[in-house]
Amino acid sequence: MKYNQLAKDIIKNVGGRENVNSVVHCITRLRFKLKDESKANTETLKNMDGVVTVMKSGGQYQVVIGNHVSDVYKAVVEEGAFQFEKPVDAEDGKKGSLLDRFIDMISGIFTPILGVLAASGMIKGFNALFVAIGWLDNEGGTYQILNAIGDGLFYFLPILLGYTAMKKFGGTPFLGMVIAMALVYPALEGIPNAGEPLYTLFAGTMFESPIYIEFFGIPVILMTYSMSVIPIIVATFFAVKLERFLAKVIPSVVKMFLVPMFTLLIIIPITFIVIGPIATWASQLLGQTTTSIYDLSPVIAGAFLGGFWLVFVMFGLHWGLVPVALNNFTSQGWDPILALIFVHSFALAGSILAVWIKTKNQKTKTLSAPAFISSIFGVTEPGMYGIAIPLKKPFIFTIISSAIGGAMLGFFGTKGHEMGGLGIFQIPSFISPDGIDMSLIGAIIAAVIGMGLAFLLTYIFGGINKSETEVNSPKEGTVGKNVKNEVIVSPLNGEVKNLASIEDTAFASGALGKGIAIDPSEGKVFSPVSGTVSALFPTHHAIGITSDEGAELLIHVGLDTVQLEGKHFTAHIAQGERVERGQVLTEFDIKAIKEDGFVLTTPIVVTNHDQFEITITSEQEVKSQDLLIELQAK
């Protein structure tokens, strides 16, 4: 890890691991609670590269790091074998709707692998294309190797997600990988094909499940975890909670190996015994439900399957439709169920094409090109996880367009006459043994309309360049590369103070940014710019905003008010939300905060100040929206 040595030096100079009761982090600093502060080498810490300064306040020994404090914190926890406390930072503690939190979780888990995900999707798609046009034989060595290159990531996707999900949730990443490795262990996946089941649970019902193995007498319902997403995410979520609990109760001298050992021994069997059956039964229920809906109305079934197919794929429920389709092919020579999902990849491609054309975000544009190509070939993961879900609206419009396309397929009576590929490679499966009919023609019409509708909806209503969660969000640090001149207005009513005069050394020194401070006379914070909320801390006392012109601002209400843990603060925005200049961001109770003994002096600093020439107002009193700081790009 990049900050391992710094972490070791910090732990050593706060008196060693045995001198630390706990450690958390806030916006810029590590907050230690030490058993004996006299054992800490304060001057040594102050002079260390990577440490801005050291402060003591509120019973905490604060090592000021700066904007990358969360990375240093993770290294400190790892090196010191401390438990992860609930971090006082924006990423892990931010609020928002359930949908917003789910999208943030999915984006955070998939973002690290988007590049290789898109590359694998393109290789897989082109390999299928080469077979389709006769350039390659699908039994030849060249095809097999290319298929391994393109399909390897998707097959072992749970292993990569085990790492990124565990990291996202704040656990040990390699534990997540080992959990995933057990789930895709070839010997377990091959058991159902190797012999007869021991017995069958729930025989004669839709939940009928053959049992091939038991775990200490408990029946294990085996399912296919390769290429799945949700099972490993759920497993790592609970693994992190278990790891933290074990870290509290297991003695430090044996913690290094006993914590991971017991985490694996508990979580992996639970995943096989609980998560597996739930996913299996949900898939079987989906298959039965879809068949019933189709018998009632092919149009409704098409809208249902087309609209929710990508959602089913996310949760691994789509496997429940495969046995239904196989039975249809066997019994009647054709299948309508899988035919109804045909439009989904084209609808996704249409939405991504609109993003590709319209976005001004270079990273989004770069990711859109391979994601679009992959979607045309039926490989939807790069576009779904890399573009559509993080941007929200393209995903919604994809679902709507795919549902309409599915309804059209049901209306035209489109059927598959063989198990075909996906995307454009599914088209030949619609050709009837009697020749071309409306089954094929209807499929093409539905695909064109679905793709075109998704494109238009996303292009017109997608809010692509205003999206608060675009793939390359400001917090990744790329926005400031093309900054422009800008005027920052006051976010508060109150008395202006020189930043160097305030009682917080870290802010006063300018190490955390250049700017000014205000003693507020009213308990409201207004947005000083139009832009995106790049950070909202769980305690609502600190807000980071990246302006449309590239300025990165931090508004920190009060000094050490993080210790209030959100008391007396009410936020009116969420992290990732777009805000306009003058919009109320948060409110706070001035009287109550002062009665609790906290100073309300509020620093307003430009954290990417090195990219600007900065001019501060000379006024002694300001009102909200008065000129406060002028920025001239260097």
- pLDDT over 60 (residue 40): yes
Global confidence as pTM: 0.54
- What pLDDT is recorded for position 269? 96
Whether residue 493 is predicted with pLDDT greater than 80 in this model: the reply is yes
Strand-pairing partners, residue 264, are none
pLDDT value at residue 282: 79
Q: How far apart are CA 155 and CA 463, in angstroms?
A: 34
Compute the average pLDDT of residues 485-510: 88
The pLDDT score that the predictor gives to residue 262 is: 96
pLDDT score of 280 more than 60? yes
Contact 162, 176 (CB under 8 A): yes
Lowest mean pLDDT among 98-102, 444-448, 568-572: 98-102
Question: Confidence class of residue 474 from pLDDT cuts 50, 70 and 90?
Answer: very low
Statement: residue 248 has pLDDT above 50 = yes
Residue 89: per-residue pLDDT: 41
User: Which residue type occupies 582?
Assistant: G
26 is catalytic: yes
How sure is the predictor about 420, in pLDDT bands with cuts at 50, 70 and 90? low
Give me the pLDDT at residue 207, please. 76
Q: Could you tell me the pLDDT band of residue 475, with boundaries at 50, 70 and 90?
A: very low
What is the 3-state secondary structure of 10-40? Answer: HHHHCCCHHHEEEEEECCCEEEEEECCHHHC
| Token pair 């190509």 in the structure block, residue | 373
Q: Rounded to an integer, what distance in angstroms lies between the CA atom of residue 361 and that of residue 468?
A: 12
pLDDT score of 470: 44
pLDDT band at 391 (very low <50, low <70, confident <90, very high): confident
| CA dist., res. 612 & res. 458, Å (int) | 36
pLDDT per position as a tens digit, 186-224: 888 888 877 789 999 888 887 788 899 999 999 998 888
Please tell me the predicted confidence (pLDDT) of residue 72.
87
For residue 591, pLDDT beyond 60? yes
- pLDDT (tens digit per residue) in 354-377: 999 988 777 788 888 899 998 998
Are 121 and 381 spatial neighbours (Cβ–Cβ below 8 Å)?
A: yes
What confidence tier does 316 reach under pLDDT thresholds 50, 70, 90?
low
Q: Contact 402/394 with Cβ under 8 angstroms?
A: no
User: Which listed residue (26, 540, 541, 568) is catalytic?
Assistant: 26
Active-site option among 318, 344, 540, 556:
556
CB distance 259 to 240 below 8 Å: no
- The class of domain 479-633 in CATH terms is mainly beta
Residue bearing the bigger pLDDT, 130 or 320: 130
**In the predicted model, what is the mean pLDDT of residues 41-59?**
83
Q: How far apart are CA 177 and CA 158, in angstroms?
A: 8
Q: Which pLDDT score is estimated for 323?
A: 66
In this prediction, residue 93 carries a pLDDT of: 41
Q: Does the structure show a pLDDT above 90 at 611? A: no
Contacts 24+ apart (CB under 8 A), 318-323: 318/283, 318/286, 319/223, 319/224, 319/283, 320/282, 320/283, 320/284, 320/285, 320/286, 320/287, 321/283, 321/286, 321/287, 321/290, 323/287
Task: Confirm whether 318 is a catalytic residue.
Answer: no
Work out the burial of residue 551: count CB atoms within 10 Å of its CB; fewer than 13 is exposed, 13-18 middle, 19 or more buried.
buried
CA distances from 489 to 54, 511, 557, 631 (A): 31, 22, 16, 11
Q: What is the pLDDT of residues 574-587, one digit of tens each?
A: 877 888 899 999 99
Task: Report the alpha-carbon distance of residue 535 to residue 38 in Å, rounded.
Answer: 35
Q: What is the mean pLDDT of residues 134-162?
A: 91
In whole angstroms, what is the distance from residue 430 CA to residue 436 CA?
8
4-93 adopts what CATH topology?
Answer: Gyrase A; domain 2 (3.30.1360)
Residue pair 546/534 in contact (Cβ under 8 Å)? The answer is yes
| pLDDT in the model for residue 465 | 65
Question: Measured in Å, how far apart are the chain's first and last C-alpha atoms?
Answer: 33
Number of alpha helices (DSSP H) and beta strands (DSSP E) in the chain: 23, 22
Burial label, 234 (beta-carbon count in 10 A; 0-12, 13-18, 19+): middle
State CA 76 to chain mean position distance. 24
Residues of the chain within CATH 2.70.70.10 domain(s) are: 479-633
Instruction: For residue range 535-570, list pLDDT tens digits in order.
Output: 888 788 889 899 988 888 999 999 888 888 788 999
Residue 401 above 90 pLDDT? Answer: yes
CATH 3.30.1360.60: which residues of the chain?
Answer: 4-93
Q: Is the pLDDT of residue 450 over 90?
A: yes
pLDDT recorded at residue 258: 93
Spatial CA neighbour of 72 closest among 154, 19, 6, 157? 6
Compute the mean pLDDT over every residue in the chain, rounded to the nearest whole number. Answer: 85
The pLDDT, as a whole number, for residue 123 is 87
In the chain, % of residues over pLDDT 90:
36
Q: How many CB atoms lie within 10 A of CB 257?
A: 9
